[in-house]
Structure 1
Amino acid sequence: MTATVSTHVLDAVTGTPAAGVAVVLTDADGTRIAAGSTDADGRIGAITPSPIPPGRYRLAFDTGAWFAARGRDTFYPEVVVAFDHLGGHCHVPLLLSPFAYSTYRGS
């Protein structure tokens, strides 16, 4: 079964969507599949250009550039989330602050 991947990035310090975060989706071998940038609501509705098969993937969030553009320092210049896509739609949210982040499997 193939599916799409979406994401949502929230700035946990300000409680607002993180608009303009660059995101790259790669497969387990590091091959770039797709890239995008979060919209005004901090979302990328479907980063995949077409459905992808189950397997291991990585989302790399360019948090360093995003924080720098806002004049804020960060300990994490990049956040990479590896996940096993098991089929169906896969939503990977990121809650972000300059010195911590968390993620979970969304719906």
Structure 2
Amino acid sequence: MPELPLWAALPAAVLLIVGGLLTLIGSIGLLRLPNFFMRIHSVSMGNSLGVGCVLLASMLIASALAHRPVIHELLITVFMVFTAPITMIVLMQAAIKRTKPPRK
């Protein structure tokens, strides 16, 4: 197995720890917050930032081991950036319609 250089290992470790903590905080918010609207905000913010940190760490490690820029993870990032907000908007609209009183 190839050796990972220290200049890549340290920032990648920090990014993985921060990404894990952000994802954990978002997931705890999902369990602890009182209503759907607050829960959806904590999950969308925490988990999106956490995934971003993990993807950056993955790009850094892969680039260091391949001795060239590896940007395959950008496709995952683009997919997350486009789909996560759209999913959250659709879920929020459904929740708003479900909680509104019926019109007379």
Q: TM-score, normalised by structure 2?
A: 0.29
Q: Going by fraction, where is helix more abundant, 1 or 2?
A: 2
Q: Going by fraction, where is strand more abundant, 1 or 2?
A: 1
Point out the structure with max Rg over C-alpha: 2
Higher relative contact order (CA 8 A, sep 6+): 1
Q: TM-score, normalised by structure 1?
A: 0.29
